[in-house]
Amino acid sequence: MRVKKIIFVIFSFPILMFASYAKAVCPVCIVAVSAGLGLSRWFGVDDVVSSVWIGALLASVSIWTIIWLDKKGWGFKYQKIIISGAYYVIVLVPLYYYGIIGHPLNKIFGIDKIIFGSALGTAVFLVGVWLHNYLKQKNNGKSFFSYQKVVIPVGALLLTSLILWTLIIKK
């Protein structure tokens, strides 16, 4: 089990390193991701679905912090890895400490549901941000529709949550 955790950490950090800090993630997106997380927990949604939103929130806050530091001129070497890692540690270590992560009955595919969902949510959010930037680049630097920057990443997260809920939770 410890080997799986080490492998997860080794493979999750490269995903975070591909987040481009030159293209901002807006505060509206962070609020939307936070709202999604709060609503899913309030409705009693399974941990794997809720943690998709945890991963997305951590990725968006990491990107936002990196951009803010760069604008202030406070950027530093390895800031992507250090800041992203710090946010993930701040959130996931207390969950592990209080027994929420690591519970033997809270697993999917042999991995803890919160770790799996957080990694998936991070990846889906980053792909959504990348897709928005790609589409914007193809349209001469303009979005195809209003709030595209929010709709694409949040829509991807909603779709991922729906797929997980229907395929895994409601088998």
Q: What is the pLDDT along the chain (171 residues), one digit of tens a residue?
A: 565 555 554 555 555 444 444 444 556 655 665 566 567 667 777 888 889 988 998 999 999 999 999 999 998 899 999 999 999 988 888 878 877 788 888 888 889 998 999 999 999 999 999 999 999 999 998 988 888 889 999 999 999 999 998 877 665
Position 77, amino acid: K
User: Angle, nearest 10°, between helix axes 27-42 and 148-164?
Assistant: 20
Integer angstrom CA distances of residue 27 from 97, 145, 150: 30, 18, 10
Buried b (16+ CB within 10 A) or exposed e, 57-75: bbbbbbbbbbbeeeeeeee
Position 101, amino acid: I
pLDDT at 166: 86
Q: Which residues contact 2 (CB under 8 A, 6 or more apart)?
A: none
Q: Collapsing DSSP states into helix, strand and coil, what is residue 30?
A: helix
